[in-house]
Amino acid sequence: MEMILENSGLQIESLSARVAELIDQNAKLKKLVDYYEEQFLLLKRRQFGSSSERTVFDTDYRQIGLFNEAEAAADKAAPEPELEEITYKRKKSKGKREEDLSTLPVERIDHELPETERECPECGDTMNDIGIDIRRELKIIPAKVVVVEHATHAYACANCKENSDKTPIIKAESPKALIPGSLASPSIVAHIAYQKYSNGMPLYRLEKGFTYDGLNISRQTMSNWVISCTFMFLAAIYSLMKKILLTETILHSDETTVQVLHEPGRPAQCNSYEWIYRTSGCAEHRIIIYEYKETRKQEHPREFLKDFKGFLHCDGYQVYHNLPPDITIVGCWAHARRKWENLLKSIPKEKRNDSDAARGIRYINKLFELERTYKNLTPEERYEKRLEESKPVADEFFSWNV
């Protein structure tokens, strides 16, 4: 009897241990299933969903579509300029319109009646000018291409030519060619560079545009002009900009992938990198510098920033966190928010509002909202406001997130 009870006790103890083991295993499997569900939802969102980081927690978020900007911005109900009743009707000036047009030259055309048509229909006397009705319109003057001939005159002494074995020759001064042996002028190279790099106009479209104007300049020629002027003139400006940039106490940095076609020794599918360095918005001289490198290695920012001492605002890429101790790394809230955003997208919709991810995003959105209100403040005023309003929000976030 005692042996039976003893065996029963051992079986119960063994079964209890097994049950506890299965409960623990089931909990782990449940967590694993939840994790895989989150990863599946996140991958599905990345593949088929919108890339926007907008959430229902964002405030004052507005963006006009890139391709339907005219349709999105159009408003047929928007009023035209109002009419103001005085001795005659004229369009009432708007403050913003006056500001928009204030920097443009004005070409005035007066429309007047000839003397013979100013007779009063009642009494026959000459009628007086009592006012002017101003109507404004914008006129575009298309660019035109002109061939500029620099005719440099040379002068010789006729007397010496007749009576001496030497004939002095003096030549007038003339500007040097921008590129020796080339038709390039400062204005046309500046136009090409502006259209390509500021307006994003491909060279083949510029080539067609010149053709429509009766000028044949190949994209290869335009490329040669821009590259030559870059080495002859812009390289020195770049070096000076870099020197000034590195004297700042606050810089921002990031890197992005680019593909370079026909690069010697590398296939076209290889990723190269543009490293970007810029001053803060409060800097006296706002500078943005791009540095092209073939790789994403740590040696590139270390070399570029070797003379910099101060705060570097960047993302969490590890190479920034191994820079010299004179550089203090400042984390980016936008990149931190992106992690919470990815987590939020992996949570079923019905559970999002009460999730930790939603709470984390709300903290960061509040900081962004406060930052927008500081936009027009001086650096000193912004600093005081951040201490007063932003710091408590950040402290609460970090105490919650630890």
Residues 6+ apart with CB under 8 A from 37: 346
Q: Which two tokens stand for residue 343?
A: 């987590």
Report the C-alpha gap between 71 and 260 in whole angstroms.
36
Residue 135: the pLDDT is 85
Residue 85: the pLDDT is 44
400 or 42, greater pLDDT: 400
Tens digits of per-residue pLDDT, 245-256? 999 999 999 999
Tens digits of per-residue pLDDT, 146-164? 899 999 999 998 888 888 8
pLDDT at 321 over 50: yes
Residue 72: the pLDDT is 46
Residue 142: the pLDDT is 83
101 or 3, greater pLDDT: 101
Runs of H (alpha helix) within 293-378: 299-304, 333-345, 349-352, 356-373
83 or 208, greater pLDDT: 208
pLDDT-derived band at 395, boundaries 50, 70, 90: very high
Q: What is the mean pLDDT of the chain?
A: 83
Place of tokens 């009628």: 127
This prediction's pTM: 0.64
DSSP state of 379: H
pLDDT at 16 over 90: no
Kindly state the average pLDDT of the residues 298-322. 93
Please spell the DSSP secondary structure of 305-317, one letter per residue.
TTT--EEEE--S-
135 or 234, greater pLDDT: 234
The answer to whether residues 364 and 340 touch, using CB atoms and an 8 Å cutoff, is: yes
Q: Which two tokens stand for residue 377?
A: 């403040």
pLDDT-derived band at 29, boundaries 50, 70, 90: confident
Report the C-alpha gap between 102 and 341 in whole angstroms.
44
Helix (H) or strand (E) run with residue 279 in it:
strand 272-279
From residue 19, how far is each of 7, 237, 257 by CA, in Å? 18, 75, 54
pLDDT-derived band at 373, boundaries 50, 70, 90: very high
Q: Which two tokens stand for residue 4?
A: 């039976």
DSSP state of 325: T
pLDDT at 66 over 70: no
Q: Provide the residue ranges of all domains of the chain, joining segments of one domain with +.
A: 182-241, 246-329, 332-402
